[in-house]
Each structure stands twice: as structure tokens, then as C-alpha cells.
Structure 1
Amino acid sequence: MRWSRIRPVLALLVVLALLMTGCSSQQEGTPADTGSSGQAQQQVSITFWTAPNPTQEKFWREMAEAYMKEHPNVKIEVAPIPESPSSEAGILTALSSGTKLTASENIFVGFGAQLANNDAIVPLDTLPGFDELVQQRKMEGLIEGWRFPDGHIYIFPLYSNAMLYGWRMDILKELGYDQPPRTYSEVFELAEKLRATYKDKFLLARKVLIEPQNWWERWFDTFTLYYAASDGKPFLEGNQVVADEQAFTEVLRFYAELAKRGAILTRDVTDPFETGVAVWAPIGPWTLPYWQEKYPELKVGEQVVFTPPPGAGAGGPAGAGKTFAAATGGGCIPQSAGGGKKRAGDLP
């Protein structure tokens, strides 16, 4: 493959397509030639699942179409990961049912470790061209953070979603605030004033707080606050749990205090932050395209402002500006997935 001939807009797809072509070879037992030698080229079929949101699905479909135009022997079928109820569950269902799947994005390292322990994901560093790909992307330092304890790399990093918090400043101004609260005590004060003034409004509306099966939601409502309270201390170092217990306890007490004040709504409400039922919410990068389509009247810097997580200390978070970022990547699924230590369907 001649990288110099690939247009910049295709670069990201080429990164993953190169890996997926290797994955397809792993599945079908024969090498794939996507070069331009003029010789007959093997037909390569790739099924690629994207993160289940319209923005990424649209992006990958466009990239796949452009790539296939330049490589007619490669057929890429792009589809969103079926959430049942999560992306991880969708992939596990595919593995246990024998659904055709070559590769998927939106795999985080914890889930990747479960797949690796069950021989349900390909070690990418064993595929031809992997080292060259890392060098082309200038990722020699970054990629080491994705190396698993067994020495292999199973997930190719694609993006990192840093989380912030949104505040409905239009409503806060009605309560006399010129800026959002920065500490837990200031948040408690706002919650009491809000509930005393508006019986139909809450600080936070988040039903998933009482749905423990949706474990991944803790990334967005608990880990965010933890990283601010702990000054960015990680949960794990290698195989050791090194989390700051005091910081995590402070986060749990924070939610308990809000619940005592009746400031958290835990029943189903459609878009509570956008409709003004709640004035505070965790915000990810995927939120803005949704607002542009559904709530164009919400303007950042006017009705809404973003801040890092609040903190427990009187002067603000110990780790000012530190938050959780959901880093995920792409991985390849072997045809024999599920035949390792446990069946794929038995994964937790």
C-alpha cells in the first residue's frame, strides 16, 4: 500500500483498514493484497462496527466508501454496534452467536482485557505492518500505554472523549448566579435554592444512578468527580488497584447529600437538561451534534456553559481541570472467538 497516494481525508480509515485487512486474513486463512501491482487481487470482505451514534456511523460510512473506491477488491460493510443493552453486550452476543464481525471500534481497555483473556480478540502487534503503522502515525510513545500485561496490543487507539459538566446558566442567572458553583458546598447551596424556587426543577436528572446494570454510566457521573477529587490519581497501575479511597468516598457522599436534599431526579424524563428540568449534567463530545439537530436554541456561552467537575475542597477541586476521558479504540475479532478459556457468551 502506497501511503503517499492516499488523500489526507482517508488517513484514519487507512489506519483501521490496514489492521482489518490483517484481521480478515486471520479469519480466512489467506493473505490480502490491496496493492496496485496490476496482478489479480484477492477479494477481501470486512464487517466493521462503529460506535452507536449517528456522527461516527456517518463518518465511517463515508470513509469506507472512499477507501473502497481506491481499493475495489475490498468490501467494507459498516454498521453501528447493536446496543443490547450496551456496546459490550452487543459484541459478546455476536461472538457467542457466530455473527460475522471482522472488527469494531468503541472498545475500551477493560473490555479488551476480558476479550483477550478468552482468546476473543486478535493481538494487533502480531499482524504484518503493525509496527510500520505505529511509526507512520508517530504513536511509538502513546501505544505503550495500550500494551496489555501479556506484552501484546489488542486495541488500536482511535479517540478519547474528555468529559465536562454543563450548567443551565439561563436558569442559574434567575437564581442570582453569575457563574456556576465550583465546590461541593456551593453545589449544595445552589441545589437548596433551586428546589425552594422551582418545585419542578432539579439539580441533576439521571435515572441511571439507580440502575447498577448500566455500569458504564459510572464513567460519566462518578469517575469524572473522582479524578477531580483525587488530583487525577488512577484506579489501576498495572494489575494493582491504587485508587484514592478517601476521594472516592467523598464523591459518594456528595451524591448522598444531593439525594437528601431532593435535588436528584431518578425517573425517566426525555432530555431533562435540554428542557430545563435539570440544571447540571455530564457532557460528552457527542452531545453537541445532538443539540445542533434537536435543540439549536441552546447556545454554548449563553444558555449553557461548560466547566470541569466541581470538587470537595473549599478552594475548588484538588485536581483543578482534571476529569475522566473515555479512551477507546478498534480491535479485530478472530473467527474462532469463544473457543478459548471460556465461551464468549460466558464473559461477564
Structure 2
Amino acid sequence: PDTQVTMQPLPEGRSGEEVLIIAAAGETTPDICSSVPPVIVPLLARAGSMIPVDQFPGGRELIAERLPPGMLESFIAEDGKLYQVPWKGNPIMVQYNTGILEETGVDSLPRTWSEWNQAAAKVTRDRNGDGRIDQWMADIQIESEWRRRLFDFYTFYIAASEGRTLLVDGRVDFDNQIAVDVMGFFATGFREGWYPRSLLAGDMFLMGYFAAHVTGPWNIAHTERLKPEGFRYAFGPIPVPDDYEGEPFTFGDPKSIGIFSNCRYPGAAWAFVRFLISRESDRKLLEIADQLPLRDGLLSDTLFADYFAAHPNMRVFARLVPHTRGFDQSPALQEVFDAISNGFDGCAVNGVITPEEAVRQAAERSRYILKMRGA
């Protein structure tokens, strides 16, 4: 109560990663940031910019108790310390324009790759008769920026591999047949013309040009606010290989809370963080921001029952929280994603290399990066 808290948003126009890395370099970080991308925590921790939660008595235990079982391990740094407080997540699903599906004879939301491809062949068409395709299956991004791969290759790889990520013990783990198959899945879609090879302006999903959009729970409010009259939609899981029999997994797009080393009042900062991750604050996070706290038992806790009863689409996403994956804690991870993105561009988007070559080259490049970065 004696410590004044001043809040301000992250600057617009730049990614959260860029803002925090620049601030750390200039020693101008905030005391606390509640939207730290876990992908950059290893970089900030290695630079000495973050305070480990372990220095606060009972800190790690409090966080482990809040999270779904097994989730904490993916946030622990290479040195065994915990530099971040996992706060909220955005399980990635597929949002479908059910009107388009029904018009083209697709009776159910695709669950497998074959069902997805069959639907894609039906919905991709020339609607106005000018000889050019103007309706596609999905808006798979063609830009080669690393973060674009979070919502295509990486999400589908996690789903197809029953929750595997890219690295294990700091070593490349995606040089396998599953990654080849995922790369081939997207290559087929681009080759068949189910995804456009050009950038289209505006929200083309809401405008009816795409039958599917890979997205997170943030798009519920966006859709409800901007959807045209008569627009109908539903959310489905990330499609998996036809022979997949495991639990549904997806990318969780998590965000963490971090306390930075230039904080003059670390004890007060930790007290504020504890407040932010309390059950009552998690309910406020849902009610005010429609964002999912990384908390075990979300759907069984009576404190949140009224919210989920009033927001059925959020309930669909909340079911996936325990089955999400985030980021490997390596300071070179963004460069690993760059290598994968280069392979995706050459194979899936442009079709100049095979899926096998794309994965092999990305894995070789990633091993070199990890070695050179000492990661």
C-alpha cells in the first residue's frame, strides 16, 4: 500500500520482443512487464536483465501450484532458474466461416489433414466468373519473418507430434519425419492453389475470401465487433495426420510477467505479481480482457463458472490450455525459427526444394546457430 504503481502500455508499432530487448540494452526496462514474450526471456536472462523468481521465498512453488501439471518445465531457463511468471495463454485453433463450408458442401469441421484437403478443394473457387480464384481455404502467411511460422508450421508440428517442440536439452529435435510431413502438408496446399501466394489487404477472412483462419481467442471479440451481417463461424482444433490417435495439442502463444534487474523495490514488485496471478485477478483478466490465465482447473473452478457460461467460445479455448506448448528456453530460438522459415519459404510457398530438403537444411542451420551462440 505504500508503493505507488504507475502503468503504461508498450509502445505501438513495434513488437514486444523488440521493445524489451532495446530497453534492456539501454537499461530502461520497467520494474515489471506483464507481457513478456517467453521467446526472449533467455536473451534477457543471459544479459542479466531479469530477476529470477527463485530468489523470492516460495515463488517457484506458488507458480507451479497455479499452472496445469507439467507446464512449468517449459519456462525454466538453461541454468535451472525461473526468470518469468507464466501468466496467460492463447491456445491456437482454426476459425471457420461456416457459411462458406455449408455453401460448398463441407458438412463438418475438418479434424484431419485429409478432411482439410478435401474441404480446401471444394471451397477454393472463382466466385465471380472472371477466371481467377477469389476464394481460398486459408490465409497462410507467405512472409518469411520468423514469427509467421508460429501459426502454421510450428502450431501444426506441435499438433502432429503430440506436443513436441523444436529443441530437447538445447539440441535440435525437429529433424524428423513429422516435420517433413508438416512441411509437405503446407507445400501441397500452396501447390494446389488453396492458399494465395500474394499479400491481401484488410481482414479478408471476415470479408468472406477465406474459409479458415488460424488464430487465437483474441479473435472472438474482433469477430463479434466487425463481422458483417449474417456471418457465421465456429472454432475447431488444429487438423492432425490421419493416423493420429493422441490428445489434441497446440501452440499456446503464452505471455509471462517479468521483474527486471533495475527494479528498486523487488519485494514490492513480487507482492504485486502475486496479486496479478491470484484467483481473483485471473477472474478479472477474463472479465475485462477476455484473456485466458494459465491456471489449472479453469473449467472446474466455480469462481470462473459464470464467465464461461456466458462465453461459450472461450470455453472451447480454455479446454486446450493444459494441452498447449510454448517456447524452448534457448537464447538462439528466434534464429532457429528463421532457419525454419527459410525452409518453409523455399518448400511450401515456392516449391523449389522438397520437404525433406527444407527440414534437413533448417536442422543443419539450427545446429550451427546453437553451436555458435553457445546455446
Alignment of 1:315-326 (within 5 A): 317-319=244-246, 321-326=248-253
CA contact (8 A) 1:163 1:224 kept: yes
Relative contact order higher in (CA < 8 Å, ≥ 6 apart): 2
Name the residue aligned to 2:151. Answer: 220
| Paired amino acid for 1:205 | D
Contact 2:126 2:134 in 1 (8 A): no
Task: Describe the SS at the equivalent of 1:77.
Answer: coil
* Amino acid in the other structure paired with 2:121: E
Distance in 2 separating the partners of 1:331 and 1:285: 23
Aligned twin of 1:202 = 136
Is the alpha carbon distance of 1:98 and 1:201 closer, same or farther for their aligned partners in structure 2, counting shifts above 3 Å? same
- Cα RMSD of the aligned pairs, angstroms, is 3.0
SS of 1:264 mapped into structure 2: coil
- Corresponding residue to 2:40 among 74, 92, 111: 111
Q: Hey, what's the Cα distance between the residues in 1 that align with 2:109 and 2:70?
A: 37
Match of 1:187 in 2: 116
| Alpha-carbon distance in 2 for matches of 1:138, 1:203 | 36
Q: Distance in 1 between matches of 2:175 and 2:230?
A: 37
Q: Where do residues 80-159 of structure 1 align in structure 2 (5 Å cutoff)?
A: 80-127=9-56, 130=59, 133-134=62-63, 143-159=72-88
Report what 1:289 is aligned to: 221
Match 1:255 to one of 175, 181, 186:
186
SS in 2 for 1:106: strand
Amino acid at match of 2:136: F
1:335 to 258, 262, 281: 262
Deviation of 1:124 after TM superposition, in Å, equals 2.0
CA displacement at 1:312 relative to structure 2 = 2.8
Provide the aligned length of Structure 1 versus Structure 2.
260
Higher Cα radius of gyration: 1
Q: What is the percent sequence identity of the aligned residues? A: 27
Q: Does 1:245 align with 2:179?
A: no
Sort the Cα spacing of 1:197 and 1:95 in 2 relative to 1 into closer, same or farther, 3 A: same
Retained in 1: the 8 A contact 2:138–2:213? yes
- 1:167 matched to 2:96? The reply is yes
Matches within 5 A, 1:229-244: 229-243=160-174
* 8 Å CA contact 1:228, 1:319 repeated in 2: no
- Secondary structure, in 3 states, of the residue corresponding to 1:234? coil
- Residue 259 of structure 1 and its aligned partner are, at CA, apart by 1.0
Q: Which runs of 5+ in 1 are unaligned?
A: 1-70, 337-346
CA contact (8 A) 1:230 1:318 kept: no
2-structure distance, mates of 1:144, 1:193: 43
Question: What is the distance in 2 between the residues matched to 1:180 and 1:260?
Answer: 23
CA distance in 1, matches of 2:56, 2:87: 18
Distance 1:153 1:202 in 2: 44
Q: Is the 8 A contact 2:75 2:82 kept in 1?
A: yes
